[in-house]
Structure 1
Amino acid sequence: MFMSFDRPLYAVGFAVVATTITLVSPARAEPAPPYETLIEYLDRTPATLEAEALLDAANARAQQARALPNPSVTLEAENAYGRAPFTGYDAAETTFSVSQPLELWGQRGARIGAARAEADAAALRRDQSRWAVAGRLALIYAEAEAASLQYELAVEALSLTQADASAVIALIEEGREPALRGIQAESEVEAARAVVDETQANRDAAFARLAAVAMLTEPVTSIETSLLDRAPSPFAQDVRNPLAVQIAEAEADAAGQSVTVERLRARPDVTASLGVRRFQEYDSQALTFGISVSVPLFDRNKGAISAARAEQRAAEARLTSLKLEVQADRSAAQARLNASITRTRAADNGVASAEEAYRLARAGFDAGRISQLELRSIRSALIAARNTAVDARIARVRAEVELARLDGRTPF
């Protein structure tokens, strides 16, 4: 971990920390499962289930598009129950025929292609949803871990402040410091105690949010497997076609297929029929066959064709815009990730320096060489440095989550 707690200077402070944690922590802590374990359960989250259901619907429509149109069966009777010579049914002609619509001009292939293109786009959107859920889970997991660390830092800051206050009171009793210093020290202790209460509330809220998002049956009270300390690779991956661009390309292709479908719907509908006609008078029968063709005189599907072409233009415009934006966003996310890695390294160095400065300041204060104000300032710098290190790690996680979203992958 980036914080070192093994210096002799903190022996007294850690006794207070241990006592405080024992008092405020549950008797039995249930640590959150590791991030990798939670990722394995992404399929049960509502967002993933929704995306899977939409993909199943698109695949079902693609399967339905392959179905042939149903034939029609017709039974007709002519020249029956009229006036002479058609009295009764003796002179009737009975026809049984089967009619089958014929999908000419490539209509069936266009319909299948459009449905398949929609299913391909739905599959990519399903993948995008999974990566988005994984990124959200990584961020919430890291925020819960950071909230827990900030609470621990607040508890430690309280112990350091109490230890310093005890040293000030000892000096006041010896007559080496005015009583005003004691009042100031007590005020600092109360402020540190208020920070502990605030960070504890933030930690509990973050744990509850993590349990809800990860759909855990047991409440989370601690995190044992760190995600904040996991440094992503600073080197950019070769992502030639980001997922968002792939989705836009699939949607543009689906829009183009829809134009073809609507254009072919304007062609005449052709139906072939074949039947048998029974001549009751002659006790004989003969075949009947024919072709019917619709005449596109009034409805040529012009409105639907225009609408499909407009949607295609919109999809192509989105694709062009995304190609420019995604590359820019990815370059910015990569730059933020590199900067966050450098910032984290600098923050860790700052923590080490602040710890050494506080150790020397405390020794100087006990020896009477520095004032309480100087000690308080150096202690505040140490607390700020440790919180800055936590903030730097959260920024690094956010940068990795954003870059993973653009690349179409699971963070870390």
Structure 2
Amino acid sequence: MVQAEANNPQLQAARRSIAVAEAGTTIADVGPNPRLALDAPVGLAETKRTFSLEQPFELGGKREARLNLARNQVRAAQLQLDILRWRIRGDVRQAYAELAIAQAARRQVERTVELAQQLVEIARKRLAAGDVAEADLIQVRFVLERTRQRLEPTANRIRQATIRLDTLLGEPTDDSIEPSDRRVFSLSVEENRIAPEAPQAIPDLKVLKALAQEHRLDLSLAALQQRLSDDQLTLARAGQIPNISLATGFTWDPANQTTAALLGLRIDLPIFNPRQGEVNQAIATRSLAEVQRKVMERQVEQEVAAAYADARTAERLLKQDRMVLLPQAEKVLDLARKSYQFGQTGLGEVLIAQQSVQDQRDAYYNDVLAYQTALGSLERAVNQPLASYSDAPTTP
């Protein structure tokens, strides 16, 4: 994640959006410029020249309202960056899991090729001894070639996973990445490491919902959007109050060689445009923000419940793989191969057993990926690492 934080292009763009929002604060703090005027008549009827300086003054708290709106827009940009960080974190975790599992699946296919080669040798020896027909040898050679053909798709799966992870990390897409977390992605069946260890116990659903209500950044952003709509309404109502301008200057009459001072007060008259439309729009926006916040609260609750259900299901399936199915599959394959080797069963039983075991191993890798995906979704749903709450008490 450190590498993604530094190099991910989406995060880099989001950080620049904060700079844009901060520039908006500078703009909001600026008042209106003074105005310099020179009036020179054309024609013989009038010879007076008038110089004046006019300074508008904003009334009704317009500047303060603009500043509050701009500052909250900066906070919104920061929240959006943090939300994106969590999404990228989940994507990196998912891509890393996909790469690790793709590499483990590749090693498993290589192991299956070795087993198929051993079966070819067994069939060759039995054919030489006159125990089986040549059809057995032809059939196991065919199975060997089909197994070898699976190597290319597994290699492409690794390439695709590497490209995805490289992109998220902001690295060239031809870089090779080797997963280093052997404790989590230790998937060797042969060395009795048949499933990744769960990094922590999954907290209770009520605990997770409370965490989401406290830490979910989407909820914070929805609340901030509601404050932004209040700021927009305040600014719109301030805009209904006319500004005034103070003017000072002097008039010079070159014909009579006389001068006169000028003092003036100007005010906008909101006759044709009282800015009620802006106020009505801001009121509607505030109402929409309130509804969207309630929708987000409900959506977060639903996402936590769904992610929790997925995580629990994936956990149970993986436990079944670890404790029952994979150990049994290995025993079935070993017994079938030995039975064929010593002439107790035919080739068909061995091939059926081998295919069943391969199907179970494929299902196991899918379950591992589903488990890692579910944990990532659950962390994203509460915007907190589950490891921080591994000892969280369950609620009654």
Structure-1-length-normalised TM-score? 0.79
Paired residue for 1:171?
126
**Any runs of at least 4 consecutive aligned residues in structure 1 with deviations exceeding 6 A, and if so which?**
278-286
The equivalent residue for 2:391 is none
* Corresponding position of 1:118: 73
Matches within 5 A, 1:221-236: 221=176, 223-226=178-181, 228=185, 229=196, 231-233=198-200, 234-235=202-203
Q: Deviations over 1:300-338 (max 9, x none)?
A: 122222223222222222211111111111111122122
One of 241, 252, 268 as aligned partner of 1:267: 241
Q: Cα deviations across residues 170-208 of structure 1 (Å, max 9, x unaligned)? A: 222222223332232122112111112221222223223
Q: Deviations over 1:233-281 (max 9, x none)?
A: 3125423241112112212221221122122212222112344566879
Q: TM-score, normalised by structure 2?
A: 0.82
Deviations 1:325-373 (A, max 9, x none): 1111111112212222232232222223322332333333323333322
Report which stretch shifted further, 293-302 or 173-182. 173-182
Q: Is residue 148–residue 222 contact of structure 1 (8 Å, CA) maintained in 2? A: no
Distance 1:103 1:410 in 2: 49
Distance 1:360 1:186, change over 3 A: same
In the alignment, the residues of structure 1 paired with residue 62 and residue 95 of structure 2 have an alpha-carbon distance, to the nearest angstrom, of: 49
Whole-Å separation in 1 of the counterparts to 2:6 and 2:311: 28
Gap change, CA 1:354 and 1:330, over 3 Å in 2:
same
Return the match for 1:345 from 319, 324, 327. 319
Match of 1:385 in 2: 360
CA distance in 1, matches of 2:310, 2:253: 87
- Of residues 396-405 and 324-333 in structure 1, the stretch that sits farther from structure 2 once superposed is 396-405
| Match status 1:157 vs 2:131 | no
Structure-2 residue corresponding to 1:60: 23
Map of 1:396 onto structure 2: 371
- Picking from 341, 344, 347, the partner of 1:369 is 344
What does residue range 178-327 of structure 1 map to in structure 2 within 5 Å?
Answer: 178-217=133-172, 219-221=174-176, 223-226=178-181, 228=185, 229=196, 231-233=198-200, 234-235=202-203, 237=208, 238-241=211-214, 242-275=216-249, 288-327=262-301
- The answer to whether the Cα contact below 8 Å between 1:134 and 1:410 also exists between their aligned partners in 2 is no
- What amino acid is the match of 1:304? E
- Deviates further, 264-273 or 379-388: 379-388
Post-superposition offset of 1:230: 6.3
Q: CA deviation at 1:299?
A: 0.7
SS of structure 1 residue aligned to 2:159: helix
User: Which sections of structure 1, spanning at least 5 residues, go unmatched?
Assistant: 1-35
Q: What displacement does 1:68 show?
A: 1.7
Give distance in 1, aligned partners of 2:283 and 2:62: 17
For residues 232 and 255 of structure 1, do their structure 2 counterparts lie closer, same or farther at Cα, with a shift above 3 Å needed? farther
The whole-number CA distance in structure 2 between the counterparts of 1:339 and 1:328 is: 17
Asked if the contact 1:142–1:397 (Cα under 8 Å) also holds between the matched residues in 2, the reply is: yes
Letter in 2 for 1:257: D
Distance 1:396 1:67, change over 3 A: same
> Over aligned residues, Cα RMSD in angstroms?
2.8
Match of 2:55 in 1: 100
The one-letter code sitting in structure 2 at the alignment partner of 1:318 is Q
Q: CA deviation at 1:60?
A: 0.9
Whole-Å Cα distance in 2 between the matches of residues 157 and 361 of structure 1? 15
* Structure 1 counterpart of 2:125, one-letter code: A
Aligned-partner Cα distance in 2 for 1:363–1:188: 18
After superposing the two structures, state which structure 1 stretch, 46-55 or 376-385, moved more: 376-385
**Alignment deviations for residues 73-110 of structure 1 (CA, whole Å, 9 cap, x no partner):** 334568x9846xx7xx7xx5x65443222211121111
In 2, the alpha carbon distance for the partners of 1:215 and 1:122 equals 22
- For the residue of structure 1 that corresponds to 2:263, the secondary structure is strand
Q: Percent identity?
A: 21
